[in-house]
């Protein structure tokens, strides 16, 4: 009995000392692995070569806790061999659970080059053929620094449908 009372007192003292640690344990991710959500990740070509890019990623609490200061980076690879980037905005991985429920979405009319300059490479003949999810850093002066590749999806169509969402799928 004495052991149980001592354990209970220790648990109470520890919870008072570290309330955020216990809060994190209650806020676990429903996702089993870090990946691109293909249902919510699309691109749309509008009139006069204007574009819409939508992206979403699912995260585990393990990654969010292990890489708290890193950022999610999307690398869009286009048919002509060019690359463009997007990111999860103001979220660092450590903020995922409490802010977003481990599902992060974003959208933009433009992507960015490796240095962070706005670009819009989407045309009817130049469209994304792959999209990669990376963990890395984004520095205002140095741009995108992808470090660890987590997931990749592909666009397998022979062309794109204008004014309609074009979806990615898991690569074969």
167: Cα separation from own chain's centroid: 16
The Cα 73–Cα 136 span in angstroms is: 7
16 Cβ contact list (under 8 Å, min separation 6): none
54 Cβ contact list (under 8 Å, min separation 6): 40, 41, 42, 43, 44, 105, 106, 107, 165
Q: What is the model's pLDDT at position 91?
A: 75
**Domain range annotation of the chain:** 30-170
Asked if 131 and 85 count as a contact pair (C-beta separation under 8 A), the reply is: no
Question: β-strands 111-112, 118-119: how paired?
Answer: antiparallel
What torsion do the CA atoms of 159, 165, 166, 170 make, to the nearest 10 degrees? Answer: -170
Per-residue pLDDT of the chain (172 residues; tens, 9 = 90+): 666 576 555 555 545 544 444 444 456 888 889 999 999 999 999 988 799 999 999 988 888 888 888 999 999 999 999 999 999 877 788 786 667 778 888 999 999 999 999 999 999 999 999 999 999 999 888 899 999 999 999 999 889 999 999 999 999 7
Asked if 128 and 80 count as a contact pair (C-beta separation under 8 A), the reply is: no
DSSP letter assigned to residue 106: E
The Cα 84–Cα 25 span in angstroms is: 36
């Amino acid at each position: 009995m004495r052991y149980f009372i001592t354990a209970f007192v220790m648990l109470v003292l520890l919870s008072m000392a570290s309330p955020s640690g216990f809060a994190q344990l209650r806020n676990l991710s429903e996702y089993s692995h870090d990946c691109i959500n293909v249902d919510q990740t699309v691109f749309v070509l509008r009139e006069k070569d204007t574009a819409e890019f939508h992206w979403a990623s699912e995260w585990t609490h393990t990654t969010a806790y292990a890489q708290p200061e890193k950022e999610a980076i999307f690398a869009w690879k286009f048919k002509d061999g060019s690359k463009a980037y997007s990111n999860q905005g103001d979220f660092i991985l450590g903020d995922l659970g409490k802010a977003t429920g481990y599902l992060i979405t974003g959208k933009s009319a433009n992507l960015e080059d490796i240095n962070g300059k706005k670009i819009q490479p989407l045309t009817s003949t130049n469209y994304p053929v792959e999209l990669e999810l990376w963990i890395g850093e984004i520095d205002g002066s140095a741009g995108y620094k992808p470090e660890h590749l987590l997931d990749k999806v592909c666009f397998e169509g022979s062309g794109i449908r204008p004014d309609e969402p074009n979806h990615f799928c898991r690569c074969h």
